[in-house]
Structure 1
Amino acid sequence: MKNITEELRQQIKNAVLGSVKKAVEAGELPELEVNDVAIEIPREKGHGDFSTNIAMQLTKTAKKAPRLIAETIIKNIDFSNTYIVEATCAGPGFINFTLDSKYLYDAVRIIKEEKEQYGRINIGNGKKVMVEFVSANPTGPLHMGNARGGALGDCIASVLDAAGYDVTREFLINDAGNQIEKFGISLEARYIQLIKGADAVEFPEDGYHGEDITEHMKDFIAVHGDKYIDVPSEERKKVFVDFALPRNIQRIREGLESYGIHFDMWFSEQTLHKGGEVAETIELLKKNNCTVENDGALWLKGSVIGSEKDEVLVRNNGIPTYFAADIAYHRNKFETRGFEWVINLWGADHHGHVARMKAAMAAIGINPDRLDVVLFQLVRLYRNGEIARMSKRTGKSISLMDLVEEVGRDGVRFFFNTKASGSHLDFDLDLAVKQSNENPVFYVQYAHARICSMLKLLESEGIMIPDVNAVKLELLERQEELDLIKKLSEYPDEVRISAETLEPSRLTRYVQEVAASFHSFYNACRVRGEEEGLMKARLVLVDCTRIVIRNVLDLLSISAPERM
């Protein structure tokens, strides 16, 4: 697949490097080693299509004023076999490049040729990458952190897939450790209360008080009655957990699927303990002299993880901590299953754990640079201008499912990807359901629907979208037309940058810009009623816009309606 913006950058880089080489050979510049040329798109249209600050970067080694260097580069530059038509010096020494509009018409042909594949690139070269996200505590419903992490993680995975990586989406089922012990205790207490009465046993203060605990035990009693009332506690708790946990996991699975998230792998934490990987990892840390014993417990040395405090790996009762299991889990990702790159999405409250986990990877011989953690900030929901804490339907704390029910999947996924992961997100529930251009997802979907309606109407009149190769695209010369094509041409590069930065919020901004460019074009340029050649060229441009908007929304798992 083609990325014309990247091709343009490469042409400019090659032209600049060739010019520097030529100037050095002519003695106009001293011997220079130029490894890279930074190419930017200027914010102001008057500064050309692309710009570089290479002259400023070479000032120290060339021992010349940047403007003189820029003018020397411009004088020696060769535009042959490029889209470049002009290079000018601006300001203290920027070199601005103006391109032939031919590249825009070539971009239109590429979009029509690649269709639903347009925007897919290959910077990943099939590199095996795992994106692990949500990994919600299976003892309760999905909350707002899961909702934002889910939308971010799923879109990051989609962007990496579009960029040529071999992507696996994974959900870690935390079915071992303290929370499962607490889950069993909570189920047991509720079971006894339902059989013997509320005063028969005190419900643990730090237990799970949700209605789902009561619901599980009522369903259990409907099948088994009081059969387990006199069974030993440990055996009884295991039976209850084995009954309730799969039900919770299934609810999580169904909830995430209704949210548009489908995991390739649901990985059980228990398998790490049962398969001996936690024990193996602890022994490896011991062997690498990374541990110390104290107070009957085994600790990971603070010096290993850059901390003043040691971290417990195995408690004095012989039970490994979650940290030990997490190190084993990441070792499993890299060594057992062979992922070359692992990306975790964690809430911002886990920021202190990032350095520890990376250091732990180094301690077991894994390059910590192969692990990336995307931290995402909290979400505040607003309704009627005030912070919303309760679901309209249930009157209880708003869960992911409540949010999807109130706003719709498209709105939730789009809004959660409108801000960078590291930014706090204020989610306006009223705006998210508004049928107006103020609502960004409505604005984008309406642009797509408007295009589809226009094309359908023209088709009913016998006006079909022509073959792009039979159209004179050079007739598209109004500024609104050129601006729209330029915006469409940037899509593959937006995918590249989103993949490199792990920031899918770029794509929601980008598709809003496409919609805005289309609306400007639509208001300024007629399609039907124009001279036939121009009408056909505009028809092709309109269809290219439809393709790009749909491709972006598909990537974000947001619907692209044909009618609204």
Structure 2
Amino acid sequence: MTPEELSRAVRDALQAALAALSDTVDAESLPERIQLQRPKQREHGDWSTNIALQLGRRVGLAPRAIADEIAAQLRQLPSVAKAEVAGPGFLNITLDAAAAGELARTIVQRGPDFGRGHSLQGHVINLEYVSANPTGPLHIGHTRWAALGDSLVRLLRAAGADVTAEYYINDAGSQMDKFGESIVARITGADVPEGGYNGAYVAELASKVAAEDSSIATLPREEAIDQAREAGYRLQLAEIRDVLQEFGVHFDEWFSERTLHGSGAVASAVQRLRDQGHVYDEGGAVWLRTTTFGDDKDRVLIKADGSPTYFAADAAYYLSKKDRGYTEKIYLLGADHHGYVGRLKAIAACAGDDPGVNIEILIGQLVSVGGAKLSKRAGNIIELADLIDWIGTDAIRYSLERYPADTPLSLDGEELRKKSNDNPVFYVQYAHARTASVARNAADLAVARVDGFDASLLADSTEATLLALLADYPRIVANAAQLREPHRIARYLEELASAYHKWYDVCRVTPQGQEEVTDTHRTRLWLNDAVGQVLANGLDLLGVSAPERM
């Protein structure tokens, strides 16, 4: 019996219980799905629910009486071994061993789809993350959101949401001009301009730009800057795309800030916000009255000289997302962007949206990697490309994803490279590789799943623990997506890997010596493969590989 099936059974029992206790309760008012939890103490059963406590006051009945009646209804089901009431109305449920064991076959049959659900079906989300300026290489400051953002996209989709992963290319404004000036300076041997870009990567870009167009060195200064800026921009953006692809990160949309200015979207946004009644003129500038919606001060949209501010582009970009049909916009911002939270939510409110529903802003804290060498190309930063070469994509991603985003994080690079059980990513990946090894050994000894399955044979306590954990996986995925917390998947996988290793030490899948192959071996192979499937599914949500040999 899967958790979904048990949830439906509890709802049916609840409906019958209320009908037996009262003739005034409307069954239509009952929740569509009963939430189940795994008890903290194994002896309390496989699942528990507090639905009786939730409904008691609303329907005018004692929670304990409701729970007692639900338990009586559930005890009639062959798949339920025990249904007991604790305290004022908590219901603890223990499944029959065969009903619990049936889950192993269900998982194998569902394969990669096991754990995917519909809790966020109907949500149309634009998730923007990384969005680094195309004026230099991606570095460790971008790496945390690259990992977490991509995992969050995968999680939201697994929960049924319609998600677009978007990279906002900050390719307009003065920083791009400084970028072009810096490249020209390297080509001509001049000093890098104040506030310009240093690092060997600029010299490399300059060399490539000059190789493509040797005339830049002889062009008038402004024309040379324009051409160098565009060529350097194209080359640097290509490098960003390539390293993100190597890191396993895919974006559906690459949105250029320039398009907002070139299309008139910025001017249109200002007018739309004015029509909403939130724009005013003062001191020759155009302002957005964001203090109405909790911002610490009003923001300038158009400066007195007629030029738009970055904030005007932010407003136009938000309206672009709204116009493209994204009812929910999630922004993943770095630790130095706390000041953006109030102003972005104010933009949403000024645009007529609900800041509590239509926009969500997640702030990621700083991360450092001990033992890492600073990039020779980029100067005083650690490049993502160097981290990949040194530590590897799997270890970096998993290590960044196993902690909440709002936790400052310091990693030990050499520890992450170790192939030992003290390294969490190795521990989980090794568990998956072990399930594959067991399956290969089983095949060599003619243990085949298709030859038999008897769920009642999965009666060892380590098997009960494994099955309870496997049954909890869909709930873990749904909660991680709802709470925007990929680390819940990583921590779950570590718990599952630990339970699997303990089971492996106790229960044999393959026969010993001259022992004949029995349904116990075959049924355990189903369980072994079910664990391997869930480990692979969870690692995929983290963008981490599930090796079959280690």
TM-score by length of structure 1 reads 0.88
Name the CA shift for 1:466/1:274 in 2 (closer, same or farther; >3 Å).
same
Q: Kindly report which structure 2 residues correspond to 1:216-255, keeping only aligned pairs within 5 A, or say none.
A: 216-225=205-214, 227-229=216-218, 231-233=220-222, 235-255=223-243
**Does 2:203 align with 1:214?**
yes
Name the CA shift for 1:132/1:82 in 2 (closer, same or farther; >3 Å).
farther
Question: Residue in 1 aligned with 2:145?
Answer: 149
- Letter of the 2:22 partner, please give it: V
Question: Residue in 2 aligned with 1:344?
Answer: 331
* Native 8 Å contact 2:293 2:349 kept in 1: no
Question: Residue in 1 aligned with 2:457?
Answer: 475
- Letter of the 1:372 partner, please give it: E
**378, 382, 403: which one aligns with 2:370:** 382
1:449-482: CA deviation from partner (whole Å, max 9, x where unpaired): 2222222233234x143227x3222111111112
**467, 474, 497: which one aligns with 1:485:** 467
Moved more, 340-349 or 72-81: 72-81
**44, 47, 50: which one aligns with 1:53:** 50
**477, 497, 520: which one aligns with 1:534:** 520
1:73 shift after superposition: 4.2
Name the CA shift for 1:505/1:308 in 2 (closer, same or farther; >3 Å).
closer
Secondary structure class of the residue paired with 2:197? coil
Secondary structure class of the residue paired with 1:397? coil
Q: Kindly report which structure 2 residues correspond to 1:68-107, keeping only aligned pairs within 5 A, or say none.
A: 68-69=64-65, 72-73=68-69, 77-80=73-76, 83-107=79-103
**Does 2:345 align with 1:363?**
no
1:76 shift after superposition: 6.0
1:93-151: CA deviation from partner (whole Å, max 9, x where unpaired): 43322222333223122112112322222334464332221111111111223111011
Q: Distance in 1 between matches of 2:121 and 2:302?
A: 40
Question: Residue in 1 aligned with 2:400?
Answer: 416
- Letter of the 2:544 partner, please give it: I
Secondary structure class of the residue paired with 1:441? helix
Question: Residue in 2 aligned with 1:266?
Answer: 254
Secondary structure class of the residue paired with 2:545? coil
1:187 shift after superposition: 2.7
Q: Kindly report which structure 2 residues correspond to 1:135-174, keeping only aligned pairs within 5 A, or say none.
A: 135-174=131-170
Could you list the runs of 5+ residues in structure 2 that have no partner in the other structure?
Answer: none
Name the CA shift for 1:406/1:496 in 2 (closer, same or farther; >3 Å).
same
Name the CA shift for 1:14/1:375 in 2 (closer, same or farther; >3 Å).
farther
**Does 2:440 align with 1:456?**
yes
What is the count of residue pairs matched by the alignment? Answer: 544
Name the CA shift for 1:82/1:311 in 2 (closer, same or farther; >3 Å).
farther
- Letter of the 1:422 partner, please give it: D
1:433 shift after superposition: 0.7
Identity, in percent, stands at: 38
Q: Distance in 2 between matches of 1:409 and 1:184?
A: 32
* Native 8 Å contact 2:391 2:417 kept in 1: yes
Name the CA shift for 1:12/1:62 in 2 (closer, same or farther; >3 Å).
closer
- Letter of the 1:523 partner, please give it: D
1:375 shift after superposition: 2.0
Name the CA shift for 1:252/1:57 in 2 (closer, same or farther; >3 Å).
same
Name the CA shift for 1:35/1:352 in 2 (closer, same or farther; >3 Å).
farther
**Does 2:390 align with 1:402?**
no
* Native 8 Å contact 1:380 1:426 kept in 2: yes
Question: Residue in 1 aligned with 2:308?
Answer: 320
**504, 522, 531: which one aligns with 2:486:** 504
1:487-516: CA deviation from partner (whole Å, max 9, x where unpaired): 222222222122211211111111112211
Q: Distance in 2 between matches of 1:59 and 1:544?
A: 38
Q: Distance in 2 between matches of 1:451 and 1:95?
A: 35
Secondary structure class of the residue paired with 1:550? helix
Q: Distance in 1 between matches of 2:273 and 2:509?
A: 69
**13, 16, 23: which one aligns with 1:15:** 13
1:429-456: CA deviation from partner (whole Å, max 9, x where unpaired): 1221111001111111111222222222
Q: Distance in 2 between matches of 1:140 and 1:392?
A: 13
**Does 2:524 align with 1:558?**
no
RMSD (Å), alpha carbons: 3.0
* Native 8 Å contact 2:83 2:92 kept in 1: yes
Q: Distance in 2 between matches of 1:71 and 1:446?
A: 43
Name the CA shift for 1:305/1:323 in 2 (closer, same or farther; >3 Å).
farther
Name the CA shift for 1:184/1:294 in 2 (closer, same or farther; >3 Å).
farther
- Letter of the 2:131 partner, please give it: S
Name the CA shift for 1:342/1:460 in 2 (closer, same or farther; >3 Å).
same
Name the CA shift for 1:227/1:130 in 2 (closer, same or farther; >3 Å).
closer
- Letter of the 1:511 partner, please give it: L
Q: Kindly report which structure 2 residues correspond to 1:302-317, keeping only aligned pairs within 5 A, or say none.
A: 302-317=290-305
- Letter of the 2:178 partner, please give it: K
